[in-house]
Structure 1
Amino acid sequence: MAVGSAVRDRCRTLLGHQEEIRYVFPALSVGPPGLANFLIVVTDGAVSVLATRMLRSDRPVSVYATYPRATRLGPILPGGLIELGTMTFEFDEEYAAVVGAADAEVFAPETLPLDPLPHL
């Protein structure tokens, strides 16, 4: 299931409306700093890891880390894991296509279909 527009708006507000959000998906850190909920936000210029509220994983509260847009999110490891920087994140398999599309946009743009909902 796609992340809703309200979550995207909260992420956009936290990031300062500077760049267009391309992809957002929720993830759970499974290594240091311990179990915590995050939103991974891919914009035109960066990949940001947003910390969320403890019981409201749809409410970002701070920017935990930022990486250049050329950072590869995959490969997806068994169990729906990705490594980003020094952290390992687990995410629901329904977001595997989002991770793949975010990587393809930078590393293999010719493989992407046209966006059927460009206004979201």
Structure 2
Amino acid sequence: MPVSSAVRDRCRTLLRPDETIRYIFPALSVGPPGMANFLIVVSDLHVSVVATRMLRSDRPVSVYATYPRETRLGPIMLAPAPTIGLGPMTFEFDEEYAAVVAAADAEVFAPELMPLDPLPDL
């Protein structure tokens, strides 16, 4: 299920005013600093790890870490669930977001693989 526009709007308030959100997906840290819910927000400028409220993964509260946009999210490791490493952390996410991770990486590292925008005038 895509991240709702309300969650996107909440995340937007934590980013710089000139950043445009490209992708967002929920993730669970499975290593240090312990198990916690996060949102991975990929903008045109950064990859941000956004902390959420305890027991409310749809309520972002602060930017936990920021990486350059050229940071590769993959490869996706298939443990019991799909996982990625980002900085010193490991994140687990629902299988439905694997395409989001792949698209975020392709946008920077293999733009020729990105499909054409079917509605470029919107």
TM-score over 0.5 for the pair: yes
Structure with the largest fraction of strand: 2
Q: Which runs of 5+ in 2 are unaligned?
A: none
User: 1:100 maps to which residue?
Assistant: 102
- Structure 1 segment 69-108 matched on structure 2, within 5 A: 69-78=69-78, 79-108=81-110
CA distance in 2, matches of 1:28, 1:117: 33
Which has the greater radius of gyration? 2
Structure 1 pair 101/43, CA: closer, same or farther in 2 (3 Å)?
Answer: same
Percentage of matched positions with identical amino acids: 80
Number of residue pairs aligned between Structure 1 and Structure 2: 120
What TM-score results when the alignment is normalised by the length of structure 2?
Answer: 0.93
Structure 1 pair 116/68, CA: closer, same or farther in 2 (3 Å)?
Answer: same
User: 1:54 maps to which residue?
Assistant: 54
Q: Which runs of 5+ in 1 are unaligned?
A: none
Paired amino acid for 2:59: R
Paired amino acid for 1:34: G
CA distance in 2, matches of 1:22, 1:118: 15
User: 1:10 maps to which residue?
Assistant: 10
CA distance in 1, matches of 2:119, 2:52: 26
Bigger mean CA offset, 107-116 vs 39-48: 107-116
CA distance in 2, matches of 1:76, 1:53: 26
Q: CA deviation at 1:48?
A: 0.1
| RMSD of Structure 2 on Structure 1 (CA) | 1.7
Paired amino acid for 1:61: V
Structure 1 pair 114/5, CA: closer, same or farther in 2 (3 Å)?
Answer: farther
What TM-score results when the alignment is normalised by the length of structure 1?
Answer: 0.94
Indicate yes or no: 2:19 matched with 1:19.
Answer: yes
